Amino acid sequence: MQRSAPRLTRILACAAVPVMLVVAGCSSDSGDSGSGKTGSKDKAGASASATPSPSQTTKKVEPAKFAELPQACKSIAAKTTESLVPKAKTKNGTPAVSSDLASRGGCSWNGLADKGVKGSQYRWLDVSFYRYESDAALGSGQERAQENLAKELAKVQGTQGAKKLRTTTATGIGDEAKTVTYQLRKTDEDFVYGAVVARTGNVLVLLSYNGAGYAGAPTPSEKTIVDGAVKAAKEAVAAVAAANK
């Protein structure tokens, strides 16, 4: 009876402890006749549970390549914007509103060049920058930029009312780039669009250039618009690297 009383006390104490603690502290008794293998299994189980699973360890991601964005309105040379947008309302460009210039920025130029009896030529140029940080949960900055390039490209390709839409791979613009050309009827005139969606490291560069002829002026050719868009896009991409030297 002297041995059974303490043993009973221990059993009752274990019954009041949560199940997970029972396994660790109350699975055996010195008065039992077992071989002790149960205790070994418990130790092995505890050791296995202590080893972190892949999902519990911190995922290492590639560091973001670029930490800075260029000043959007200075990312394209003045002589380029002057040639693409003659008679721009704001020569130095109109900056886009941004609450975080380290992550996003943009600028636009537009103007109407009056050619008298030959009509007028309207042009619009805009550029946007988006920078992505590396994040263990979301992926590297480069991967995030790649994902968003596909999304932005789809948006351009889905432009409502677009006609003669064509997408091609652009070479010599960052790490990867696509050019989208299309026509759009606005204000009773035919506009020709050239859009470039490009990625350089962890930065996405979106550039759009379009134009139309008014008062009898001819509609600009697709080549004129695309060549202008590509030239401006190359300068904008180069500005990203220059801002991070």
- Please say if the pLDDT value at position 165 is more than 50: yes
Query: In this structure, are residues 129 and 76 in contact, taking their beta carbons and an 8 Å threshold?
Result: no
| Six token digits for residue 213 | 């002829």
The full DSSP string for 49-98 is: HHSPPTTTSPPP-PPPS------GGGSS-HHHHHHHSTTBSSTT-EEPP-
Average pLDDT over residues 88-117: 95
Which band of pLDDT confidence, cut at 50, 70 and 90, is reported for residue 46? very low
Q: Report pLDDT for 115.
A: 87
Distances (CA, A) of 98 to 106, 128, 130, 133: 8, 11, 11, 17
For the chain, the average pLDDT equals: 84
Average pLDDT over residues 150-169: 97
DSSP code for 220: P
Going along the chain from its start, the domains and CATH numbers come out as 4-50 (no CATH), 72-243 (3.40.1000)
Share of the chain above pLDDT 70, in %: 76
Q: Report pLDDT for 117.
A: 87
Q: Kindly report which listed range (11-15, 118-122, 134-138, 204-208) carries the lowest average pLDDT score.
A: 11-15
pLDDT tens by residue, 183-236: 999 989 999 999 999 999 999 999 999 999 999 999 999 999 999 999 999 999
- Please say if the pLDDT value at position 240 is more than 90: yes
Cα–Cα–Cα angle for 140, 178, 109, nearest 5°?
Answer: 100
> pLDDT higher for 103 or 2?
103
Query: In this structure, are residues 64 and 201 in contact, taking their beta carbons and an 8 Å threshold?
Result: yes
Spatial separation of the C-alpha atoms in residues 51 and 127, rounded to whole Å: 50
